[in-house]
Every structure is written in structure tokens, then in C-alpha cells.
């Protein structure tokens, strides 16, 4: 029994000695750590430490920060914008979340950000209108449009009637016997008209000219 008591005594003494040795090393900065439990004191020391130091941010980094700040104040694109496929805004007023495929269309007060799909649809509408206005038969591809009347062909195209051939941006244009386009001449441009059928539109006829039906005197002329 005496042996056990002596063992416990010496073990306790050893533990106390070890703790006495370790505590100063572990807690020598205890007061300093305790001071910084106060955040105001810590912030004051940080400010004092960097006061008078050189600006750590270069111009490029500041530009990035300003860009991020600008984005934080950007309005978000909304569901109605996406469904519509466009919204009015300047180039600098692009909304946060605008798809990367959208493009800016500069049109003065009507400038807007537009889905590329909408632009494609507009192009198809223009081609279809030009085709039909020059007596062609237009076939729209379902791969390029959501039109219910589309067909499952590789791409949209205009089938011009014999004696004319498709020209991008102009429609079905009259061709010569050799297969080249028949171009409008200076006299016709000056007088503002020339005789012809819908499929006899001439190359470089002004975009604002329309076909006017008048029997044997039917003509392409300036829209009045």
C-alpha cells in the first residue's frame, strides 16, 4: 500500500513539473493574443502597420476591382428579356447574365442587346420576303427556324423560276442567256423605273423599289 501511495506522489510531482516547464513556452504571448480579442484594437494595429506604405494594388488590379464593382451594380437580365430575345440598352448597359451569344445592335435610341437566334430569324424573314417578291418559292429549314411551316432540309433556300437566279440580299434576279446577272443601268436609275415582271428584277435595283402590276406596263419602280 505504501508503494502505491509513493508511486502516485512521484507521478503527480512529475506531471506538475512538466506542466510548469511547458506553460511559459506555450503561453508567453498570452497577453498579446488576449488583446486582439478586441477587433477594434486589431484593426487599429493593422491600419497603423500599413499607413504610409506603398499602394499594394497596380492599375490592372484596380481596373479588375472597378469592373467587379460595376457588375455588382448591373441590373440582372430577366425572364421577359430572354423570352422576348432582346432588351433596349446601350453597349455599356449590358445586363448581368446576358448570354454570351447575344450581340449588341447599335441603332441610336433603339440600341439593344439581341439574341443571335432573333437575328437569324430576321435574316430568314428578309430572304423569304425577297424570294416571294421576286416570284421565287422559299423553303425554310427546321434547323434554322421554329416556324411550323419549315421543312427538314439542310438549309433554307429560294427556288427561283427559270430565267432568274438567287442573289443574297436582292432576291431572284434576271439573268442573261449566258447565265450572268442583268444589271440595272444609269438611265433606269435616273427615271426611277423599268418594265418587267416579278422574276425580272435586275441586279442592284434599289432596295426601296417595288414591283407594280399594270398588265403589259408592269414595272419595277421607286416606291412612292
178 pLDDT higher than 50: yes
Q: Is the pLDDT of residue 137 over 80?
A: yes
Between CA 84 and CA 72 the distance in angstroms is 24
For the segment 4-15, what is each residue's pLDDT rounded down to a tens digit?
A: 445 555 555 555
HSE-up (13 A, CA, CB side) for residue 193: 15
Q: C-alpha angle with apex 67: 64 to 73, nearest 5 degrees?
A: 145
Highest averaged pLDDT of the listed ranges 58-67, 72-81, 113-122, 156-165: 156-165
Residue 182 has pLDDT above 90, yes or no: yes
Calpha distance 26→44 (Å, rounded):
26
Contact between 181 and 172 (Cβ < 8 Å)? no
Q: Report the pLDDT value the prediction gives residue 97, as an integer from 0 to 100.
A: 86
Distances (CA, A) of 181 to 33, 65, 118, 177, 200: 89, 57, 31, 10, 10
Q: Which pLDDT value is given to residue 158? A: 94
DSSP state of 15: H
Diameter over CA atoms, the chain: 138
Domain map (residue ranges) of the chain: 74-114, 117-222
pLDDT (0 to 100) of residue 194:
96
Average pLDDT rounded to a whole number, residues 188-207: 92
Question: Is the model more confident about 86 or about 43?
Answer: 86
Map grid coordinates 492599375 to a residue: 59
Q: What average pLDDT does the chain have?
A: 76
Mean pLDDT calculated for residue range 123-147: 84
3-class secondary structure, 183: strand
Residue ranges of alpha helices (H) inside 98-144 are 116-133
Phi-psi region of 30 (alpha: psi -120 to 50; beta: other; left: phi over 0): alpha
Show the CA angle centred on residue 174, arms to residues 220 and 140, nearest 5°. Answer: 95
Q: Span 181-197, mean pLDDT?
A: 92
| Contacting residues for 81 by C-beta, under 8 A, at least 6 apart | 87, 95
Q: What is the pLDDT of residue 125?
A: 64
Task: Give the pLDDT band (50/70/90) at residue 140.
Answer: confident
Instruction: Please give the sequence-ordered ranges of beta strands (E in DSSP) within the chain, or none if there are none.
Output: 86-88, 103-105, 112-114, 137-139, 157-159, 164-167, 171-174, 193-195, 209-212, 219-222
In 165-174, which positions are buried (b, 16+ CB within 10 angstroms) versus exposed (e)?
ebbeebbbbb
Strand 86-88 with 103-105, pairing: unpaired
Amino acid at each position: 500500500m505504501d508503494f502505491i501511495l509513493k508511486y502516485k506522489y512521484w507521478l503527480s510531482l512529475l506531471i506538475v513539473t512538466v506542466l510548469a516547464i511547458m506553460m511559459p513556452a506555450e503561453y508567453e504571448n498570452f497577453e498579446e493574443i488576449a488583446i486582439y480579442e478586441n477587433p477594434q484594437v486589431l484593426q487599429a494595429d493593422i491600419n497603423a502597420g500599413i499607413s504610409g506604405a506603398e499602394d499594394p494594388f497596380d492599375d490592372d488590379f484596380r481596373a479588375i476591382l472597378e469592373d467587379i464593382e460595376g457588375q455588382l451594380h448591373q441590373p440582372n437580365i430577366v425572364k421577359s428579356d430572354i423570352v422576348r430575345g432582346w432588351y433596349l440598352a446601350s453597349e455599356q448597359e449590358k445586363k448581368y447574365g446576358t448570354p454570351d451569344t447575344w450581340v449588341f445592335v447599335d441603332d441610336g435610341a433603339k440600341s439593344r442587346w439581341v439574341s443571335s437566334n432573333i437575328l437569324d430569324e430576321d435574316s430568314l424573314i428578309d430572304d423569304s420576303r425577297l424570294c416571294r417578291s421576286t416570284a421565287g418559292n422559299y423553303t425554310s429549314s427546321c434547323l434554322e427556324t421554329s416556324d411550323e411551316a419549315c421543312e427538314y432540309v439542310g438549309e433554307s433556300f429560294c427556288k427561283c423560276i427559270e430565267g432568274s437566279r438567287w442573289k443574297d440580299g436582292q432576291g431572284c434576279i434576271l439573268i442573261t442567256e449566258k447565265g450572268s446577272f442583268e444589271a440595272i443601268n444609269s438611265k433606269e436609275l435616273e427615271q426611277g423605273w423599268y418594265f418587267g415582271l416579278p422574276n425580272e428584277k435586275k441586279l442592284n435595283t434599289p432596295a426601296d423599289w417595288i414591283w407594280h402590276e399594270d398588265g403589259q406596263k408592269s414595272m419595277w419602280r421607286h416606291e412612292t
